[in-house]
Chain A
Amino acid sequence: MLRKATGVLSFDISDGASTAHWSVVLKKGDVLVSRAHDEADCVVTTDRPLFDGIVRGEKNAMAAVLRGEVAVEGDTELLVLFQRVSPGRPSLFAAEKSPSQGGRHE
């Protein structure tokens, strides 16, 4: 099967001289974060400001990968899925229009 909705992402985040490690387990939309050194399907190496930006939804992970600010080894699909579960940045559209105004029309 092509699909890996489940997998382990390993983040190595450099912050000045030190490197922090985080392990993120994605399981069909659920996210578990720990310091554990699980065997990873995807290893992501980046620095602290960018990582924080991606998690807060201020930075786009794909563009950062293309810029070479993030190194990805293994299953890139997992980084895509990780970004999907991170929050988004504020939208002008959201401020103007409440999106859930569906309802019936006549």
Chain B
Amino acid sequence: MSEGLVQILDGNTFVVSDSRGDIEASLTDPTGLFSFDTRFLSKWILTLDGERLNPLSVDDLQYFETRFFLVPGTGTVYVDAKLSVIRRRAVGDGFHEELTILNHDDKPVEITVRIEAASDFADLFEVKDALKKQGKYSNSVENGSLRLGYSRETYRRATSISSSAPAIFDETGLTLVAQIEPHGVWTTDLDVVTAVGVGGTYTTPKYHRKGRKARPNMESSLDKWLEDAPRVESDWEPLKSTYRRSLVDLAALRFAPPVMGGHSLPAAGLPWFMTMFGRDSIFTSLQSLPFTPELAATTLLALGDWQGSRLDDFRDEDPGRILHEMRYGEMTAFEERPHSPYYGAADATLLYVVLLDEYERWTGDRKLVRDLEQQARAALAWIDEYADLMGNGYVSYQRRNEETGLENQCWKDSWDSISYSNGEIPGFPRATCELQGYAYDAKVRGARLARLVWKDEAYADRLEHEAADLKRRFNRDFWVEDGEYFALALDKDGRQVDALSSNNGHLLWSGIVDKKKAKAVVANLMGPRLFTGWGIRTLAEGEGRFNPIGYHVGTVWPFDNSFIAWGLRRYGFKDEAAQIAAGILDAAECFEGRLPEAFGGYARSVTKYPVQYPTACSPQAWSTGAPLLLLRTMLGLEPLGEHLVIDPALPQGIGRLELLDIPGRWGRIDAFGRGRVHVGARGSRRQLGLAEELMPKQKRKNGKKARVTA
């Protein structure tokens, strides 16, 4: 994956190829043209006169477009090409490839151009798990095109390949003859179009366009996206490029679910997770609210449409529950996987209410809150009626689909993520602590919406009463006295699963933490067991299962840290929030602005660069959203009534930070922050977090200034 090139468009169609532009997939190799969780092309190999090509360079023009510069011949050190080849590829309803051959010689040439094409129509799940296909393949040549087909009962998928220049098609590809004048140019347009069959007819899923053109028109959409977003100005240059990278990646990660009429929400990550995920879409929408609030609106509507309505054990569905993951591939179609959609997340439903309230606070869009009243009430009812599996007043989870359902239904969803301090793993159900925080926050926010928009005082009172009761019990039952932090979970016997984890930061964000406990919690978060200098580890050093490169047991997750920073701000720990921002933004700079899902939990004093987690998915939506949320926490942006409060606390090393044209209920607002103006005092400083060490005794002075341009 890491050596391949990835292009995508509009969410879930993407191409992964090698640096020549060729695709040579195997069952377990994730290259190909993918759309709706299905591989539509697994082979696409270009030869000139039977020879493979040699890559000179690759230009990633846009996230949906790449250009490969190639010359004939491979394996030699010395390239003396009389020909060069350019493949310019754009992803759309499949992909469009403009193939150009340039003759640099003073003699005319005739070249046989051959493209080998095939498709295995693998479901993404099959690619991940290396499973065998059950249907039949049928390739045919018709009307000057090659059609690759696959069918299993009524399930039909097809890929059709055509060329603008005359070509001879056969069942394994196409052959063209290029006659090129001295110093001349030959070109052809190749279209590879995906199609889904129903009955006897095929339609192209996304754009419903007739014909064979796969060419998109995304450039204007990306320009508009960048133009509409607030601008960042800062004397710390890397912040500007990280911000831009985030916006472009977020545009690439937009996904328009088939039911949403072209409106998009953030998909989870590339390439395996280009789909609607309850948790990831909500977290990313929360992070991006001050920048692109329309993502939150679509997320709320789409997840609301699919809200659970029944008890379905296969899908772990309950009435009121918000979905976990939607998939469109063959295994989902035949119910070999439960993702149509699958509901096995214990947090998405709680976070749904949190997002609805936060969305209203920023945008003032009460109409949406009114339209989604039923969905929000059903989500709140789910907490007490379906999520309290142990009957002890806490949200917990245990899958009912024991074959293909998810064991851990919180964001730390790997098998060993929830453990006692001694490393043992509890049974089910499990009531992880952050779920209680989210439930508390959902009730408090639900009460606000009930009072403000739904005009139901009694309901608001009830929710507030329940929230207060939950907070009181939680601070008693989850508090680990000797360590002064909150336990990771309660097990089925009500015993504390007592490992120290980053979840404590989410608790601050939710507001469930008693004020008098906050200081101790923060001391743990910022202490050497959790804080590496880059960020806060998922699990503290010294815990039984701690491993600095363990997926949820020691790595640092940028998304996790962004919410922890928000939590620190919520309880007034501005400097600590700035320190988290500094570490994560420094890491972002090392990754050229694109934060991975996770990186190693080694101490910063040991590794000068953050060590990328081996199989981390990138770009990933909530990592992409992390710098956005950190901009919010550094500037201390908080909607209050019709206004935006701006209370900056910048990391040492950023002298000036401006966020211009922040959209919201106020129209557009600019936010300015001034920091510890020591930039340049020691030459041009490189990394934010290190400034902390270089200048430990400097007292921070923050200026604040806000201009309203409503």
Contacts and interface: CB of A to CB of B under 8 A. Distances in A.
Interface of A: 2-3, 5, 29, 45, 57, 60, 62-63, 66-71, 75-77, 80-81, 83-85, 87-89, 91-94, 99-102, 104-106
B458 to A, nearest CB: 17
Question: Which one of B197, B198, B261, B341 has the greatest number of beta carbons of chain A within 10 Å?
Answer: B198
Contacts of A81: 305
Interface stretch (B327-335, B407-415, B575-583, B588-596): B327-335
Given A2-B261, A104-B469, A68 B196 contact: yes
Contacts of A101: 391
B309 A84 contact: yes
A75 B196 CA distance: 17
B400 interface: yes
Interface stretch (B10-18, B242-250, B382-390): B382-390
B260 interface: yes
Interface stretch (B176-184, B310-318, B512-520, B655-663): B310-318
A106 B473 CA distance: 8
B21 to A, nearest CB: 31
A29 B372 CA distance: 12
Contacts of A76: 258-259
Contacts of B384: 102
B385 A100 contact: yes
Contact of A80 (B197, B259, B312): B259
B333 A66 contact: yes
Interface in B312-355: 312-313, 315, 317-318, 328-330, 332-335, 340-341
26 contacts: A2-B260, A2-B297, A3-B301, A45-B199, A63-B333, A63-B335, A66-B328, A66-B330, A68-B196, A68-B198, A68-B199, A75-B259, A75-B261, A84-B307, A88-B311, A88-B317, A91-B311, A93-B311, A93-B313, A93-B400, A94-B311, A99-B311, A99-B385, A104-B393, A104-B469, A105-B393
Given A3-B371, A99-B311, A80 B155 contact: no
Interface centre among A45, A85, A104 (most CB of B within 10 A): A104
Contacts of B153: 67
A101 to B, nearest CB: 7
A93 B328 CA distance: 27
Contacts of A92: 313, 400
A66 B155 CA distance: 7
Contacts of B340: 60, 62-63, 66
Given A66-B333, A88-B310, 7 more contacts: A63-B333, A66-B330, A88-B317, A89-B312, A93-B400, A99-B318, A105-B391
Contacts of A75: 259, 261
Interface of B: 153-156, 196-199, 258-261, 263, 297-298, 301, 305-307, 309-313, 315, 317-318, 328-330, 332-335, 340-341, 371, 374, 384-386, 388, 391-393, 400, 469, 473
A6 B76 CA distance: 66
A2 B473 contact: no
Nearest to A78: B259
Given A68-B155, A77-B260, A63 B332 contact: yes
Contacts of B333: 63, 66-68
B435 to A, nearest CB: 15
Given A66-B340, A81-B305, A57 B310 contact: yes
B385 A91 contact: no
Q: Pick the most buried of B305, B335, B385, B386: most chain A CB atoms within 10 A of its CB.
A: B305
Nearest to B37: A66
A29, A67, A71, A104: which has the most chain B beta carbons within 10 Å?
A67
A54 B65 CA distance: 41
Contacts of B156: 68
A56 to B, nearest CB: 12
A76 B262 CA distance: 12
B589 to A, nearest CB: 37
Contacts of B155: 66-68
Contact of A2 (B198, B301, B312, B328): B301
A87 B335 CA distance: 19
A105 B473 contact: yes
**Which of B153, B330, B335 gathers the greatest number of chain A CB atoms within 10 Å?**
B335
Nearest to A79: B259
B259 A68 contact: no
A77 B259 contact: yes
Which 4 A-B residue pairings sit nearest by Cβ, starting from the closest? A88-B310, A105-B393, A91-B311, A66-B333
B261 A71 contact: no
A92 B261 CA distance: 36
A102 B305 CA distance: 25
B54 to A, nearest CB: 41
Most buried by B among A66, A69, A76, A77: A66
A47 to B, nearest CB: 10
Given A5-B371, A99-B385, A77 B332 contact: no
Contacts of B298: 2
Nearest to A77: B259
A70 B154 CA distance: 9
Contacts of B385: 99-100, 102
A102 B315 CA distance: 23
Nearest to B307: A84
A80 to B, nearest CB: 5
A10 B312 CA distance: 26
A104 B384 CA distance: 9
A33 B305 CA distance: 21
Nearest to A57: B310
Contacts of B328: 66
Nearest to B157: A68
A58 to B, nearest CB: 11
Contacts of B301: 2-3
Contact of A68 (B197, B309, B313, B469): B197
Nearest to A70: B198
Contacts of B315: 60
B334 A63 contact: yes
A103 B155 CA distance: 47
Contacts of B196: 68
Which of B153, B154, B307, B341 is the most central at the interface, judged by chain A CB atoms within 10 Å of its CB?
B154
Contacts of B260: 2, 77
Nearest to B328: A66
Nearest to B398: A93
Nearest to A102: B384
A59 to B, nearest CB: 10
B334 A71 contact: no
Nearest to A81: B305
Nearest to A29: B374
A80 B154 contact: no
Contact of B198 (A5, A29, A71, A83): A71
A60 B196 CA distance: 19
Contacts of B330: 66
A89 B309 contact: no
A104 to B, nearest CB: 7
